[in-house]
Chains A and B, each alone.
Chain A
Amino acid sequence: MSTPVTFWRSVEELRAHADRAVSRDCLAGLRAQGQQPESPSRRDFLSVAGFSVAAAAISACSRGAEQKAIPFLNQPEGMTPGVDTWYATTCGGCRAGCGLLVKTRDGRPIKVEGNARSALFGGGTCAVGQATVLSLYDGERLEGPLWHGRPASWTDIDAKVEAFLSADGARPKRLVLLSRTLLGPATRALIAEWSQGRGLRHVVYEPISLAALRRATLAAFGVDAIPHFRFGRARTIVAIEADFLGTWLSPVEFTRDYASGRRPEESAAISRHIHFESTLSLTGSNADLRVAIAPSEQGAVALSLLRRIARKLGAGDPVETLETTSAARALDIAADDLWRCRGESLVVCGARDFDTQMVVHAINALLGNIGRTVDVDRPSLQHRGDDDAMAGLVEEMRRGEVDALLLYGVNPAYDYPRADEFVQAMKHVPLTISLSDRLDETAALADAVCPDHHFLEAWGDAEPVASFFSLAQPTIAPLFDTRAAQDSLLEWLGRPPDFHAYLRDHWRRTLYPRQQQFATFDEFWDRALHDGAFAPADGATARATRTLTGDWRRSAARLAARAGSVRPEGRFEAHVYETVAIRDGAHANNPWLQELPDPVTKVTWGNYAVVAPSVATRLGITAGDVVSLDGGDIRLDLPAWVQPGQSPHAVSIAVGYGRSRAGRVGSGLGTNAFPLLAADGRSPSQASLTITRTGRREPLAATQTHHSMEGRDIVRQISPAALVDDAGDRREADDAASLWRARPAAEHAWGMAVDLNACTGCSACVTACQAENNVPVVGKDEVRRGREMHWIRIDRYYTGSEDDPATLVQPMMCQHCGHAPCEPVCPVLATVHSSDGLNQQVYNRCVGTRYCENNCPYKVRRFNWFEYASNDRFDFNMNSPLGRMVLNPDVTVRSRGVMEKCSLCVQRIQAGKLAAKQEGRTPQDGDIQTACQQVCPAEAIVFGDLNDPASRLAQLAKSARGYRVLEELGTRPNVHYLAKIRNAPDGGRS
Chain B
Amino acid sequence: MRAAAVFIALAAAVAPIAVALAAWELSRVGVHQGYAPIQPIAFSHKLHAGDYQVSCMYCHWGARTSRHAGIPSLNVCMNCHGLLTRQTTDIERLKEAVQQGRAIAWTRVHNLPDFVYFNHSQHVIGGVACQDCHGPVQTMERVRQDKALTMGWCIACHRARGPELQLARQATLGRGDPHAPFPGLDCGKCHF
Contacts and interface: CB of A to CB of B under 8 A. Distances in A.
| A and B associate in one complex | yes
B114 A892 contact: yes
B119 A914 contact: yes
22 contacts: A20-B114, A21-B113, A51-B19, A52-B18, A58-B25, A62-B25, A66-B107, A66-B108, A69-B105, A70-B104, A74-B75, A75-B73, A82-B68, A747-B176, A747-B180, A835-B185, A843-B191, A845-B191, A892-B191, A906-B188, A907-B117, A914-B122
B113 A67 contact: no
A62 to B, nearest CB: 5
B73 A83 contact: no
A891 interface: yes
B142 interface: no
Contacts of A67: 107-108, 111
B150 interface: no
Contact of B105 (A21, A68, A910): A68
Contacts of A73: 73-75, 97-98, 101-103
B104 A64 contact: no
A127 interface: no
A917 B125 contact: yes
A54 B76 CA distance: 46
Interface string A883-921: 000000011110000000001001100100010011011
B47 interface: no
A914 B121 contact: yes
Nearest to A840: B188
Interface in B41-72: 62, 65-68, 70-72
Contacts, number: 177
A527 interface: no
Rank and list the top 9 A-B pairs by shortest CB-CB distance, nearest first.
A840-B188, A82-B66, A844-B115, A75-B73, A72-B73, A834-B186, A82-B68, A835-B181, A69-B108
Interface in A781-806: none
A31 B152 CA distance: 33
A844 B188 CA distance: 11
A956 B189 CA distance: 28
Given A73-B103, A74-B73, A842-B191, A744 B68 contact: no
A616 B151 CA distance: 60
B192 to A, nearest CB: 5
A51 B121 CA distance: 44
B88 interface: no
A909 to B, nearest CB: 9
A520 interface: no
Given A83-B66, A840-B186, A844-B191, A71 B103 contact: yes
B13 interface: no
B187 A832 contact: yes
B84 interface: no
Given A63-B32, A745-B180, A918-B125, A907 B25 contact: no
Contacts of A841: 188, 192
B31 interface: yes
A519 B66 CA distance: 36
A715 to B, nearest CB: 29
A117 B172 CA distance: 34
Nearest to B188: A840
Given A62-B31, A74-B73, A917-B125, A55 B188 contact: no
Contacts of A840: 186-188, 191-192
Nearest to A898: B115
A32 to B, nearest CB: 19
A64 B183 contact: no
Contacts of A66: 37, 107-108
A61 B26 CA distance: 10
B65 A83 contact: yes
A622 to B, nearest CB: 43
A854 interface: no
Nearest to A834: B186
Contacts of A838: 188
Q: Which of B15, B67, B122, B182 has the most CB of A within 10 A?
A: B67
Given A70-B104, A906-B188, A910-B117, 8 more contacts: A55-B22, A62-B32, A68-B108, A80-B65, A81-B62, A841-B188, A844-B191, A914-B119
Given A82-B67, A914-B119, A59 B25 contact: yes
Interface size on B, as a range, is: 35 or more
A922 interface: yes
Contacts of B98: 73
A75 B75 CA distance: 7
Interface of B: 15, 18-19, 21-22, 25-26, 28-32, 35, 37, 62, 65-68, 70-76, 97-98, 101-108, 111, 113-117, 119, 121-122, 125-126, 169, 172-173, 175-177, 179-183, 185-189, 191-192
Contacts of A54: 22
A891 B192 contact: yes
A746 interface: yes
B181 A74 contact: no
A25 B88 CA distance: 34
B191 A64 contact: no
Contact of A58 (B26, B71, B116, B188): B26
Nearest to A905: B192
Contact of B122 (A72, A75, A917, A920): A917
B69 to A, nearest CB: 9
Contacts of A906: 188, 192
Given A52-B18, A64-B32, A70-B103, A81 B68 contact: yes
A746 to B, nearest CB: 5
A926 B121 CA distance: 22
A73 B74 CA distance: 5
Contacts of A441: none
A51 B28 CA distance: 16
A69 B121 CA distance: 19
Contacts of A59: 25, 28
Interface string A738-766: 00000011110000000000000000000
Nearest to A60: B25
Contact of B192 (A70, A83, A892, A918): A892
Contact of A62 (B30, B102, B183): B30
Interface string A857-899: 0000000000000000000000000000000001111000000
A64 B35 CA distance: 11
B114 A74 contact: no
A70 B66 contact: no
A72 B189 CA distance: 30
Nearest to A61: B29
Contacts of A891: 192
Given A62-B30, A83-B66, A914-B121, A903 B105 contact: no
B107 A69 contact: yes
Contacts of A421: none
A746 B116 CA distance: 24
Interface string A921-960: 1100000000000000000000000000000000000000
A519 to B, nearest CB: 33
A287 B114 CA distance: 47
B182 to A, nearest CB: 8
A375 interface: no
A836 interface: yes
Contact of A747 (B26, B106, B177, B185): B177
Nearest to B126: A917
A225 to B, nearest CB: 47
A49 B164 CA distance: 48
B18 A51 contact: yes
Contacts of A832: 186-188
B118 to A, nearest CB: 11
Contact of A907 (B125, B181, B192): B192
B185 to A, nearest CB: 8
Contacts of B121: 914, 918
Given A75-B76, A747-B177, A844-B191, A69 B71 contact: yes
Interface string A132-161: 000000000000000000000000000000
Contact of A834 (B68, B76, B108, B183): B183
